[in-house]
Structure 1
Amino acid sequence: MKTKLKYVWTFLLILTTVSAFSQKINKNFEIKDGHFLLNGKPFSIYSGELHYPRVPSQYWKHRLQMMKAMGLNTVTTYVFWNYHEETPGKWNFSGEKDLQQFIKTAQEVGLYVIIRPGPYVCAEWEFGGYPWWLQNIKGLKIREDNDQFLIETKKYITQLYNQVKDLQITNGGPVIMVQAENEFGSFVSQRKDIPLASHRTYNAKIVKQLKDAGFSVPLFTSDGSWLFEGGSVVGALPTANGEDNVENLKKIVNQYNNNQGPYMVAEFYPGWLGHWAEEFPRVDATTVARQTNKYLKNDVSFNYYMVHGGTNFGFTNGANYDKNHDIQPDLTSYDYDAPITEAGWRTPKYDSLRAVISKHTKAKLPEIPAPIKVIEIKDIQLNKVYNLFNYAAGQEIIKSDKPQSFEELNQGHGYVLYRRHFNQPIKGILDLKGLRDYATIYINGEKVGELNRYYNQYTMPIDIPFNAKLEILVENWGRINYGERINENTKGIISAVKIGDTEITGNWEMTKLPFLNDFASTIKAKPVDEGKQVKLKDVPTVYQGEFDLNEVGDTFIDMQKWGKGVIFVNGKNIGRFWKQGPQQTLYIPGVWLKKGKNEVIIFDQLNETVQTKVSTVKTPILDQLAK
């Protein structure tokens, strides 16, 4: 009897193992006969875009659960090349950059994953995702059929594949699709100087690199429907961005996809991006809900861009370019007026979309996760105050006959202080046409003006006396991520400095101020005595303070009384502020605070008012322009 039972149990174990193995190897996602098929059955993609670098890793699960509770079945994310290749050949996929963990968390929550690796991603992200140092490679031409560039993209795609290969659905993971390039049709329309055949060759080579790396899930492209001619590519499903006309969507996809579907809007905009010094954009919730309903009724798959925007922490924000502004830097907040706010809160827009989706799918949705606790911190005393010029005096000085760009200095982000001593007086119009991007100008430590690429301000009168020092503090405001100038993205002072008709050459000194996360530990200068701090007005100033907490939670630091600069909290650069608005507060995730002692460092480049304290509030201010 025992022997028979042993054989029965062995047989059942083998059967179960074979069944489990069979289920694993049978999992697949494909495009067939004009449909998305998941494990052989028709499937509609209800996706939301969320970028893992814009959300603290401790909050990934919460935000993904918010998406699941809204009725979505998929999360889409860009992968930012420059986020992972920190310096040439040095790759980081750990900690906050753990893409594998993000994908696994999505699977745990019950979401499929779509990856958009570019290599170009746009995304209102610094340089559209490209590493800044690509511009230092001789002969390299970004986003073209260029051997040097394609060597670098292949390295990136190979590294990416090694991270996610086991997470494709064919290997039991949640990754169902991968995008090839991104909005390439827009680039084709902007670069008429490049033959269409060359554009097509480049795009096809990116598809080939993805396939050669080993990606086995379907590939797709993403463009405005009127740009498919330049953006679509053989071997990838064409999808349309922002297309609200279902008939037009089907017509244009049919034209470029063998007269059949499936039909997908890869970027459906429930909100919009925001720039400094411009009104915060709002998109009506009713309009978004009605358009969602239209897609659902017509079997159109979609991806909300963004369902949750998050934050451009540190120096990660990008910028646009147009004819009126040489640069339009993006806000630190990437709230995007999305259904889920920057801090992960539900909105009326979220509730409307949840109701529409649940009515269509007739599925019982999970409970909506509770929001993260919010706290308020009053009157953080700023008891150490430093003159930035004194700080810079303790840093390395690079000498050159002409001002060098950030790239020539091998610096990606932050600030550079340019200095020159004048033995003889000189007077005239200071011309900084090569300014990239924002500068404050000083003579012997006293501010005499500022120049600003956003307002196309490149010149100002200047009067330098005998035996005087000219100092120009320049901020990289974020490299252009979209538009015709993406190939012109060097920073600092990139052409000759002139006063009148005289080109100022010889004896330039440069101090690199990258303001990395270890910024606090690099401060070697002595604090300015309290009685003398009033003299820091209009001088670039670093403030340092400590505060104790009995409890932690999300909060928003209030910068309405400040000028322009960046903030560090417990060593993390939480982003930029500027008095112009519309963003007047910066988001501090509670997971970056701790019970007990905390530190804040604020750098104010303008310092028009000497400060003694700063507070946080429970509600963000994102739509208040300076009067």
Structure 2
Amino acid sequence: MKLIYKTLLLFFILISFNASAQKKHTFEIKNGSFLYDSKPIQIHSGEMHYARIPKEYWRHRLKMLKAMGLNAVATYVFWNYHNTAPGVWDFKTGNRNLAEYIKTAAEEGLLVILRPGPYACAEWEFGGYPWWLQKNPGLVIRSNNQPFLDSCKVYITKLAEQVKNLQVSNGGPVIMVQAENEFGSYVSQRKDIPLEEHRKYNKAIFEMLKNAGFNVPFFTSDGTWLFEGGAIPGVLPTANGENNIDNLKKAVDKYHGGMGPYMVAEFYPGWLDHWAEPFNRVPAADIAKQTEKYLQNGISFNVYMAHGGTNFGFTSGANYNEEHDIQPDITSYDYDAPVSEAGWATEKYMAIRDLMKKYVKYPIPAVPEKIKVIEIPEIKLTRAVDVLDLKKTITPVGGDKPLTFEELNQGSGYVLYSRRFNQPVNGKLQIKGLRDYAGVYVNGKRVGELNRVQNKYELDITIPFNGTLDILVENMGRINYGEQIIHNTKGIISDVMINDFAITGSWQMYKMPFDVQPQTGKLPEKNIEGRPVLYSGSFELAETGDTFLDMSSWGKGIVFVNGHNLGRFWNVGPQQTLYVPGCWLAKGKNEIVILEQLNQTTHSTVRTVKQPVLDSLSGSN
């Protein structure tokens, strides 16, 4: 009898819990206000991308946002992060479990703003688009093009299956969904396309989102001077980077029936950073002053970024300008944000927190304890393998001319282009279609580099009789913003020229995507200065914690720790360290593999430090 009683009691407790957990709230935009359960609410949101934070740290970072005084979290969804190969979708493993991230935010008392794109920008590889879209010659991204719209529909449908039940209308925390992203800026850059065609595309994406099951209020996001191209009738326009409240209200009123609510969807506390350029910093006092202005005037805002995180692996994108051609983003997405890359409360964080405590009526919890930081003084590197020797383990793809990454069905990493010459040749090697960085070797000896970042597309070369030319090409991230986003193939996308003659016939291409930690145990040890090398070693830890690999004495490459690709390093700076999350380390044995492309000095050890170095341009290329 007692067993039956306990079973019934547990049954009713579970029913009660589920009913409470599924309690529906309401959220609407009405009479110039955001209304949550019919009561006006000012949104104090922080942008934080689940893909840039180890899943094990999601809750800690969300708690940090809550303790800063925020009541919402915003996140982009990156199409290419979930559509990992044509026809392959992953919304469940590791960091890709978007639904779990949203649920965790709700558990921490945060509302959620979803930004599904399908275009994201966000300094992310290809702005979130899957690279293989470019393999369809009839597909034109971000346009009123049926093959592209068909692909978008598949993505939006797959996404909706994962998250539509987490909308506030279904008892979840998602209160708003963005339609497209910063489309007004794209319209302003693509004046070759009629405005009406742009609007047809924008409307098509909006209709797809609704038809897929998104039924909470929508919004668009643009600079106030770009609403003309990006606004959608009946959808709330929000502003990016607008500090002038009069300008904000004027623009929103013009496109939203003469009334608010008023929101700055991207309030920048810092800025993005490129390799070989100074790290951007914004004074905490300036951000506090602007935050108070929003609070005093009832302006909702989303701090972009509240916490940036890291562009692990090959996820960082690039910008473009005519001077530099390409400006690849650094691995760190610290962004000079209030919460640092490693999750630390900064001076900026405390300044905003103090203001929020002054202005908001809801309770603000204590700042979470900082995750432990450790220092590993010396990690011994016990093996070194010549990357050019990998040719012995890879079946090459032959071609009359070099093939692009896309033609080789490879998205990221490296490709080694190789050709043997049966006659001696010397003169000027020229690769105008280099995308993006290349080490050049003749008979295994490094003779120089070509570098799209610095517009270096040619060098003098001498190839002897029966000599071999090897060109190791790195994709440093596809352009994620602007009109050049439609020109995003990688590798060698033009003829290789010597003395103005195209070098054709008998090219061999060796694919080195490094999408997983390379295994080099079957190759002989070899370490020749100037040649690209894979260093490896192991180290023992009695305790784990966050740390930062000191790469300041290294050249250029990537690092794996326990199978995790930490991202790129490059001695040109400004970033000189790589963040190693403690949750990716283990008590006991750990493994490290470093691809060093330059290898100007041979290495036997690498160490870690307790503080990141993100603002040093002291290196050389």
Q: TM-score, normalised by structure 1?
A: 0.95
Tell whether 2:77 aligns with 1:85.
Answer: no
Deviation at residue 115 of structure 1 after TM alignment? 0.6
Cα separation, 2, equivalents of 1:421 and 1:70 = 61
Cα separation, 1, equivalents of 2:160 and 2:18 = 26
The question of whether the paired residues in 2 share the 8 Å contact of 1:567 and 1:602 is answered with: yes
Tell whether 2:612 aligns with 1:614.
Answer: no
Match of 1:169 in 2: 168
- Percent of pairs identical after alignment? 60
Cα separation, 1, equivalents of 2:567 and 2:614 = 14
Q: Deviations over 1:448-503 (max 9, x none)?
A: 11010010010111111111000000000000001221000000000111101211
Match of 1:53 in 2: 51
Cα separation, 2, equivalents of 1:187 and 1:559 = 37
Letter paired with 1:572 = H
Match of 1:304 in 2: 303
Deviation at residue 23 of structure 1 after TM alignment? 10
Deviation at residue 22 of structure 1 after TM alignment? 10
The question of whether the paired residues in 2 share the 8 Å contact of 1:26 and 1:39 is answered with: no
Cα separation, 1, equivalents of 2:58 and 2:551 = 27
Q: Deviations over 1:121-141 (max 9, x none)?
A: 000000000000000013000
Deviation at residue 226 of structure 1 after TM alignment? 0.5
The question of whether the paired residues in 2 share the 8 Å contact of 1:430 and 1:500 is answered with: yes
Match of 2:248 in 1: 249
Match of 2:537 in 1: 545
Cα separation, 1, equivalents of 2:15 and 2:402 = 68
| Secondary structure class of the residue paired with 1:115 | strand
Give the unaligned 5+ runs of structure 1: 1-12
Cα separation, 1, equivalents of 2:103 and 2:559 = 32
Match of 1:524 in 2: 522
Q: Deviations over 1:63-105 (max 9, x none)?
A: 0000001100000000000000000110001222100110010
Cα separation, 2, equivalents of 1:372 and 1:607 = 34
Deviation at residue 24 of structure 1 after TM alignment? 5.5
Match of 2:66 in 1: 68
The question of whether the paired residues in 2 share the 8 Å contact of 1:417 and 1:473 is answered with: yes
The question of whether the paired residues in 2 share the 8 Å contact of 1:391 and 1:523 is answered with: no
Match of 1:28 in 2: 26
User: Cα distance 1:299–1:598, how it changes in 2: closer, same or farther (>3 A)?
Assistant: same
Tell whether 2:575 aligns with 1:583.
Answer: yes
Tell whether 2:546 aligns with 1:554.
Answer: yes
Match of 1:292 in 2: 291
Pairing partner for 2:555 from 560, 563, 567: 563
| Secondary structure class of the residue paired with 1:159 | helix
The question of whether the paired residues in 1 share the 8 Å contact of 2:22 and 2:172 is answered with: no
| Secondary structure class of the residue paired with 2:294 | helix
| Secondary structure class of the residue paired with 1:239 | strand
The question of whether the paired residues in 2 share the 8 Å contact of 1:310 and 1:342 is answered with: yes
Deviation at residue 19 of structure 1 after TM alignment? 13
Tell whether 2:445 aligns with 1:446.
Answer: yes
Tell whether 2:491 aligns with 1:492.
Answer: yes
Match of 1:190 in 2: 189
The question of whether the paired residues in 2 share the 8 Å contact of 1:479 and 1:489 is answered with: yes
Tell whether 2:109 aligns with 1:117.
Answer: no
Most deviating of 20-29 and 135-144: 20-29
Match of 2:431 in 1: 432
Cα separation, 2, equivalents of 1:575 and 1:523 = 23
Letter paired with 2:555 = G
Q: Deviations over 1:149-204 (max 9, x none)?
A: 00000000001100001111111110000101100011101111100000000000
Match of 2:232 in 1: 233
Match of 1:514 in 2: 513
Match of 1:126 in 2: 125
Tell whether 2:584 aligns with 1:592.
Answer: yes
Deviation at residue 256 of structure 1 after TM alignment? 0.4
Runs of 4 or more, structure 1, over 2 Å off, are: 16-26
Letter paired with 1:256 = Y
Match of 1:314 in 2: 313
Cα separation, 1, equivalents of 2:20 and 2:66 = 28
Q: Deviations over 1:298-339 (max 9, x none)?
A: 111000000000000000000000121111000000000000
The question of whether the paired residues in 2 share the 8 Å contact of 1:270 and 1:305 is answered with: yes
Deviation at residue 524 of structure 1 after TM alignment? 3.1
Deviation at residue 235 of structure 1 after TM alignment? 3.4
Superposed, which structure 2 residues align to 1:384-403 within 5 Å?
A: 384-403=383-402
Q: Deviations over 1:333-385 (max 9, x none)?
A: 00000000000000110000001111011443101001100001121110010
| Secondary structure class of the residue paired with 1:289 | helix
Tell whether 2:211 aligns with 1:212.
Answer: yes
Match of 1:223 in 2: 222
Cα separation, 2, equivalents of 1:149 and 1:28 = 34
Cα separation, 2, equivalents of 1:453 and 1:71 = 43
Cα separation, 2, equivalents of 1:556 and 1:49 = 24
Match of 1:3 in 2: none
| Secondary structure class of the residue paired with 2:357 | helix
Match of 1:6 in 2: none
Deviation at residue 255 of structure 1 after TM alignment? 0.3
Q: Between Structure 1 and Structure 2, how many residues are aligned?
A: 609
| Secondary structure class of the residue paired with 1:486 | helix
The question of whether the paired residues in 2 share the 8 Å contact of 1:221 and 1:236 is answered with: yes
| Secondary structure class of the residue paired with 1:454 | helix
Deviation at residue 234 of structure 1 after TM alignment? 1.7
Match of 1:9 in 2: none
Cα separation, 1, equivalents of 2:15 and 2:61 = 35
User: Cα distance 1:22–1:623, how it changes in 2: closer, same or farther (>3 A)?
Assistant: closer
Q: Deviations over 1:198-225 (max 9, x none)?
A: 0000000000000000101011100000
| Secondary structure class of the residue paired with 1:365 | coil
The question of whether the paired residues in 2 share the 8 Å contact of 1:204 and 1:234 is answered with: no
| Secondary structure class of the residue paired with 1:506 | coil
Root mean square deviation, CA, Å: 1.8
Cα separation, 1, equivalents of 2:367 and 2:416 = 49
Q: Deviations over 1:280-299 (max 9, x none)?
A: 00011111111111111111
User: Cα distance 1:101–1:20, how it changes in 2: closer, same or farther (>3 A)?
Assistant: closer
Cα separation, 2, equivalents of 1:626 and 1:422 = 39
Deviation at residue 21 of structure 1 after TM alignment? 6.4
Match of 2:99 in 1: 100
Q: Deviations over 1:600-619 (max 9, x none)?
A: 00001100000000000111
Superposed, which structure 2 residues align to 1:276-355 within 5 Å?
A: 276-355=275-354
| Secondary structure class of the residue paired with 1:90 | coil
| Secondary structure class of the residue paired with 1:303 | strand
Most deviating of 234-243 and 469-478: 234-243
Give the unaligned 5+ runs of structure 2: 1-11
